Amino acid sequence: MKLKKINEELQQALIENGLTEANAMQKETFSTLKSGSDCIIIAPKGSGKSTTIVLNVIQRLAGATEESPRALIIVEDKAKVLEMELLFEKYGKNSNLEVYGVHDKGDMEYDKNYISSGIDVLIGTPNKLSEMFTTAGFNVNRLKMFILDDADPILKLRHETKIMRISNSIVRTQRIIFSEQFTERIEVLAEKMLEEPYEFDFDGEDEDEDDEDFEEEENLEADAEEDFEELEGDEENGNK
């Protein structure tokens, strides 16, 4: 991928998996996300939001691993947890990052013990993460990134209180919201949680670009296929 000062090992992993060119969203948000600023990123389904999250987390956490989580990613359900874990496995294989996912059907005591042994990235559902942070008292002082993926369906389930409870336990970190739409619920949450966020809105007008560089990933969970689906009509790469 042609992104400014991208980690070489990350770049190699992306190339090995066929992602040689960044799409419009990844190009425009990369520097801002890398800077540590709070962001709201609105993009349609199938635009590569999950890939954007994973590559930016790997980019920011590259280097020595630590015992405490440095990135927290909140997703909608178990399927999204598994999807995100698979993406980290693909693109973070050279990073040595310890990634762990938790969901509502997992064993609480096992999850707590595993996380306490030391991880870099924690992925989870609102219910499970809220319960874990309430009862386990994890050290969040080293947390660099707090990410809410697909915020609209999560907020429709009225998880705002759980998300804010987790966020309020973190003194200082970068907070990022991804969503397909900018709804009133997202606006209210952003006002409470984010500090002077940069706002990016990709409404689908760039869907004709870079389709061959984001090939459909059939071996991922069903939801993952949406994020890697080819974008039609790529005039720039001569597909028309």
Q: Is residue 239 included in any domain, yes or no?
A: no
| 210 within domain boundaries | yes
Residue 75 lies inside a defined structural domain of this protein: yes
The total number of structural domains that make up the chain: 1
Q: Does residue 147 lie within any of the structural domains?
A: yes
Minimum mean pLDDT range among 75-84, 146-155, 216-225: 216-225
**Binning pLDDT at 50, 70 and 90, where does residue 171 land?**
confident
Q: Which pLDDT score, from 0 to 100, does residue 68 have?
A: 83
pLDDT tier for residue 204 given thresholds of 50, 70 and 90: low
Query: Which has the higher per-residue pLDDT, 240 or 117?
Result: 117
Q: Is residue 73 part of a domain?
A: yes
Q: Given this model, what pLDDT does residue 216 score? A: 37
User: What is the domain-level CATH number for residue 128?
Assistant: 3.40.50.300
pLDDT > 50? residue 209: no
Q: Give per-residue pLDDT as tens, 179-192.
A: 999 999 999 999 99
For residues 132-150, give the mean pLDDT.
86
Please tell me the least confidently modeled range out of 86-100, 125-139, 215-229.
Answer: 215-229
Query: Could you tell me if residue 237 is inside a domain?
Result: no
How many percent of the chain have pLDDT more than 70?
A: 82
Give the per-residue pLDDT at 228: 35
Long-range contacts of 6-13 (CB under 8 A, 24+ apart): 6/30, 6/59, 7/58, 7/59, 7/62, 7/95, 9/62, 9/94, 9/95, 10/55, 10/58, 10/59, 10/62, 10/91, 10/92, 10/94, 10/95, 12/94, 13/90, 13/91, 13/92, 13/93, 13/94, 13/95
pLDDT tens for each residue of 13-58: 999 999 989 999 999 999 999 999 999 999 999 999 999 999 999 9
What is the number of other CB atoms lying within 10 angstroms of the CB of residue 208?
Answer: 16
Please give the model's pTM, rounded to 2 decimal places: 0.83
The domain containing residue 45 runs over which residues?
8-227
Position 96 scores a pLDDT of: 87
Q: For residue 139, is it within any domain?
A: yes
Domain presence at residue 160: yes
Please give the structure tokens belonging to residue 97: 């990052």
**Angle at the Cα of 113 from the Cα atoms of 107 and 117, rounded to 5 degrees:** 140
User: Could you give the percent of the chain with pLDDT greater than 90?
Assistant: 65
